[in-house]
Structure 1
Amino acid sequence: MRNQNTFVVCIALLATFIATIAHAQEARFTTDRKDLRLSESLRATLVIEGTAPLRVELPQQQLDPIADRNWKIQPVGTASVTPLGDNREKWTQTFRLDPYVPGNAMPVIFAAVKVNGREVLPGGFEVKVITTVAESKAENAKPVTGIEELPPPVIDTPGSLAPWWLAAAGILGVLGMGIVWRLRKKSPAIPPHEWAIGAFDQLEQGATSDAERVAGVATILREFIERRFGIPATRLTTAELLATAQKAGSVEKADTLASLLNSCDRAKFAGDVPDDSGCRDLLARCRQWVHDVSPALPGPG
């Protein structure tokens, strides 16, 4: 009977031990870095495995007191939970750590974490934090250098002032050109009829074909009408121009103008280009019409 009771107790203890193992929570805090510079940061991972569903509560101060003085820690992203089977899960969170001070073996220990209501110690690791500054040894010291001499003062010589004189001369030259241009611009405008007669003369001497002469005649006529009567002839068709001139009543000898423009239009649109004699006759009639519609010049006296 006594042996039977002992066997029952052993079975109960074994069951309790197995249940404890089944519900055990594991935690580890690791990194893949062994050393880093003071200006760098490292990534560390907190992994917790236990019975599902895992309820992980991180402490407000996530590092132990010693590590907390030397490191700044902050989470990277959010934690992830992965099923492991057998009613267990794995909880993973990545952290970024930045060192405050250098050291050969700087401990990074994570504080106790509550997992499903129980505290678990994840542990930690050690990292060597170095600086880029050389150690203060006698052999690393540079020799004492003498006092550097100051450069001699700059003295303004005529040669050194030459660029300034050139710049001033250039500015004066530009101003002078501007004044000349303004004076020329203010010169009296050529009267419309004088401009037209001169343009007809240049066209008669410089045109290389009869078609070019006829096209030039139409252009000069329209430009003259704009200058003389203020009608936008260069932007109107022949029909629009004649209608505008008739409505305004300001263009004398409108019938003659219509005949001249129609001759130009036939050459341009119908290919009815006059020969050399016809072109000269067209130019003569244009000169006469410009003379007839222009005011008489005041006589001497």
Structure 2
Amino acid sequence: MRTDERPRRRARLSARLEPVRTALAAAALSALTLSTFAQTPGITSSELLPTGPHHIGDSLRVRVRMTVPRGITPEVAVVSNPPDDVVWGTPKLSKSAESADSALDAWALVWPVQVFRVDPYELPPIEIGIGSDVLLTEPFPVETVSVRAGPDAALLRDVRPPVAVYRTIWAPAILGGAALLLLAGYALYRRRPRMASTPEPVAPRQPSALEWAEAEFARMEGVTVHDEEALRQYIDDTSDVVREYLLRRVGVAAPRLTTLETLIALRDAVTDGTRGALRETLDGADYVKFAKQIPAQSAGRDFLEHSRETCRACEREWAADARKGSTPRMSPTEQSA
């Protein structure tokens, strides 16, 4: 019997406590809602001072009180579409004393307004930004009763929208800072120590074929010949200068060709007279070198002058061809190449 009575007693007790549980849950939910609402930013009051009838030209004040989460500064946007005959002053935003037991701070906005309207009207709502929230005040009704004497017509036309306070200036600040950094970097770049630039070495001009030959002939004029063997070598060296000149000037490989092969290669490159002078110069050196002909002691200087004049004659012919604008006469070897 006692075992059966215990579940019944528990059921009756649970039924009696159910309303208490429901009341406690409702009280907790209400407290949570009230606490959340108390921490929510909002406008506590907005009013127009003074509130009575106004004369045209009177200076009024719009006062808005609001609660803002601690650490956030409200931003006031520009009033959109203000009446043409309402002059807005500069707003003043101030913070009241901080509360020690609340996460919200109290702020007050006071906005001076001067009106030049004859008929009653409403000042438009003011948009206030608090963090990511945007709040709007109620419109402010204004009742005008009379017109004071002589409002300036220019003042009636020269109206300005209100000036925003604490507006975010990050974008212009970043742009200005970047511009200053660029200017500072450019100034440092201009003041850097500059290393003296070394000019690139200019390659010496290569002498022409005739200039090279003239230099060699001038060098050989200072050579002293003492015996027969030295005279043979002197004439052979002079002949080598003529052959090298032909190689440099028209590309005929005279240093590696015989005299006959050289003259055949120059058949179309020079006139018969110049080719005859070349034959005399090259054959004379061959006679001394291969036929062991014994030249006179003065033959060395004469051979040098004859070789120099032969090179000059060839150069005059080729220069004349260049002045005429025609293609210089070349050897068959050059033409085939």
What is the TM-score with the length of structure 2 in the denominator? Answer: 0.32
**Is the strand fraction higher in 1 or 2?**
1
* Larger Rg, first or second structure (1 or 2): 2
